[in-house]
Amino acid sequence: MNNEYEEKYIFIKNLEITLLYDRKNNFLESIDYIYREDIEDEIIVITFNDGSCKQLLATGNSNGQNAKEIIKTIYW
């Protein structure tokens, strides 16, 4: 994983920690960032405590855009 994707991973994991503090309202279980080198895609997987998942295609997104998309997915 190159530095750009590593920084995105760290940013998203820190956002996950913050959002887990509100799990009684958002029912969040985890957020994972996956970089698929074979197809050059970035995927964010949001898992809720009922086992349901939502996947976001995040290829080329900035950290700010990823944060907006994650929050929108969790709270709306």
Tens of pLDDT, residues 7-62: 999 999 999 999 999 999 999 999 999 999 999 999 999 999 999 999 999 999 99
Q: How far apart are CA 20 and CA 4, in angstroms?
A: 24
Contact 8, 33 (CB under 8 A): yes
In DSSP terms, 43 is beta-bridged to 34, 57
Q: What is the pLDDT of residue 2?
A: 77
Q: What is the pLDDT of residue 1?
A: 56
